[in-house]
Chain A
Amino acid sequence: MSAVAVDNPLIAGIRKLGKVTLFFFRLLAQCGPALARPGLVIQQIYNAGARSLIIIMLSGLFVGMVLALTGIDLLQRFGSEDVLGVAAALGLLKQLGPVVTALLFAGRAGTSLTSEIGLMRATDQLTAMEMMAVDPMRYVVAPRFLGGIIAMPLLVAIFDIVGLFGAQLVGVQQMGVNAGTFWSNMQASVSMDDVTEGIVKSVAFGIACTLIAVYEGYHADPTAEGVGLATTRTVVASAVLTLIITYFLTAAFL
């Protein structure tokens, strides 16, 4: 390991990518054994999912309402406010639902995963497990990873439903779009492909955000500062990666 190689940010970046990939494969190998202990996984679905419900629903409601306001403003100029339902549904299912949920997930669940695992490292709990011949990847990391991956699509679905309700609230109840056209146009125009796109994205974001969170926690420096920095890196990396993945998946589904 030469000093030049460490200083070069490109090489450092590639090296980190390699480490994350290796970590990912080690993690995958432990997911099977972790599934044999459903209690641990369910606990983590509760931690990552149920505890994020309120901010997801609240955000979903307001995103849906804003979407309807913006949509009606635009569509009225072309006299086509009948398609407001379609616009809101497509916007939510394909883009805003998965993306905003992933960003909120990174801030709410990702940070808590990173700091929890980082603190377990700092207080020797992970080493203690290794000394008891228990692989922390199997007992600590894999259940949290699975919990996050399972929770994310469920949260996205809830975000979408509450968002549509919010759009309906503004579009139909407040701005007077006909309820029948709002829903029937949506039903006629939104295809299963659109729903699939949202599901694929939510699973991809679930994997990306949770992987980053557990990786950063597991490799955090065992100090107060190290755990703090790792938590920050989780949020930043999850947000940026979410947006990059969105672009490529959207392009792929066109």
Chain B
Amino acid sequence: MHYGVPQRPIFRGLDIKVRKGRITAIMGPSGTGKTTLLRLITGQISPSRGSVVVWGNDLSTLGRSEIYALRKRMGMLFQNGALLTDLSVFENVAFPLREHTDLPEPLIRTLVLTKLHAVGLRGAAYLMPGELSGGMARRVALARAIVMDPEVLIYDEPFVGLDPISMGVIVRLIRQMNEGLGLTSIVVSHDVQELSTIAHDSYLMSGGKVVAAGTPQELASSGLEVVKQFMTGSDDGPVPFHYPAPDYRKDLLEEGE
């Protein structure tokens, strides 16, 4: 699969398979297009070459309503939660149900409270999103993502900016959702430590391609320079510390001209 914006290819021959019922981790340094990849998977944008196949459907051949139908079977957790700020926590979780079903109010209430209980926030049902901490907002968003009982759950950088306790909670929830509900999970992140405890399969992206794939243990013992650099976090290596720039000395001396 290829994708690019004018003058800047982002993916060059990317090939990733996500297997049913497993947790697939997609890792990579910042700026490798992890979020772009998620937008491709969910049909928000189309690849310039190659295809994105979801449940046997090539997304580029589908119309808007068919893509919407597929999305009803997916849940997505956004980096910042993306809760609707004018609705309460309860209404946020109830939102997909109200939009897509004609369930009676008592049943909606039961479903919403069950999901909120699963993320430990039943007591926060009547707070507004503005009153939640970052970790809580992400857990509410998780409850909202699973309220329609999706088959696939996609997490976009679920660990960013969380304190260790919230991080632990999210890690545990991701594993629980996967085991308890039999969900297929795709986790996009650069937190190697957290991912290695939960992922079944991992892909490491760099330079628009998959540079390594396998279990977290296989990645950790890889001999490839770029993989080593990413897993150990050294600042220079195949992934350069410096953004491409002209010669340093020449650049400084040119200043006065």
Closest to A119 in B: B85
Would you call B69 and A133 a contact (CB within 8 A)? yes
Distance (whole angstroms) from the CB of A26 to the closest CB of chain B: 11
A112-136 interface bits toward B, Cβ cutoff 8 Å, 1 = contact, 0 = none: 0000000010011101111111110
User: A135 — which chain B residues lie within 8 A by C-beta?
Assistant: 68
Would you call B71 and A125 a contact (CB within 8 A)? no
A128 to B76, CA, bound (A): 8
Would you call A131 and B42 a contact (CB within 8 A)? yes
Distance (whole angstroms) from the CB of B171 to the closest CB of chain A: 22
Would you call A125 and B85 a contact (CB within 8 A)? yes
Given A123-B85, A134-B96: A128 and B78 interface contact (C-beta under 8 Å): yes
Given A124-B78, A127-B44, A128-B78: A133 and B84 interface contact (C-beta under 8 Å): no
Distance (whole angstroms) from the CB of A114 to the closest CB of chain B: 16
Would you call B96 and A132 a contact (CB within 8 A)? yes
Distance (whole angstroms) from the CB of A225 to the closest CB of chain B: 18
A123 to B100, CA, bound (A): 23
Interface residues of A in 1-48 (CB under 8 A from B): 1
In the assembled complex, B46 has its CB within 8 A of some CB on chain A: no
Given A133-B100, A134-B96, A134-B99: A128 and B82 interface contact (C-beta under 8 Å): yes
User: B42 — which chain A residues lie within 8 A by C-beta?
Assistant: 131
User: B148 — which chain A residues lie within 8 A by C-beta?
Assistant: 132
Given A123-B80, A123-B82, A124-B80: A132 and B95 interface contact (C-beta under 8 Å): yes
A172 to B71, CA, bound (A): 66
Q: How many A-B residue pairs have CB under 8 A?
A: 50
Interface residues of B in 32-78 (CB under 8 A from A): 42, 44, 68-69, 71-72, 74, 76, 78
Would you call B99 and A132 a contact (CB within 8 A)? yes
A30 to B132, CA, bound (A): 33
Distance (whole angstroms) from the CB of B82 to the closest CB of chain A: 4
Distance (whole angstroms) from the CB of A190 to the closest CB of chain B: 43
Would you call A131 and B99 a contact (CB within 8 A)? no
A133 to B44, CA, bound (A): 11
Would you call B82 and A125 a contact (CB within 8 A)? yes
A128 to B145, CA, bound (A): 10
User: A134 — which chain B residues lie within 8 A by C-beta?
Assistant: 95-96, 99-100
Distance (whole angstroms) from the CB of A143 to the closest CB of chain B: 12
**Max chain A Cβ within 10 angstroms of own Cβ: one of B68, B79, B141, B148:** B68
Partner of A133, one of B6, B72, B79: B72
B201-238 interface bits toward A, Cβ cutoff 8 Å, 1 = contact, 0 = none: 00000000000000000000000000000000000000
Closest to B74 in A: A131
A120 to B80, CA, bound (A): 12
Would you call B82 and A124 a contact (CB within 8 A)? yes
Distance (whole angstroms) from the CB of A247 to the closest CB of chain B: 38
Would you call B85 and A133 a contact (CB within 8 A)? no
Partner of B44, one of A125, A130, A139: A130
Distance (whole angstroms) from the CB of B124 to the closest CB of chain A: 19
A139 to B69, CA, bound (A): 17
Closest to B71 in A: A133
User: A125 — which chain B residues lie within 8 A by C-beta?
Assistant: 82-85
Partner of B82, one of A127, A133, A139: A127
Some 12 contacts from A to B, beta carbons below 8 A apart, are A124-B78, A124-B79, A124-B80, A125-B83, A125-B84, A128-B78, A131-B71, A131-B76, A132-B95, A133-B99, A133-B100, A134-B95
Query: Top 3 nearest A-B pairs by Cβ distance?
Result: A128-B82, A124-B82, A133-B68
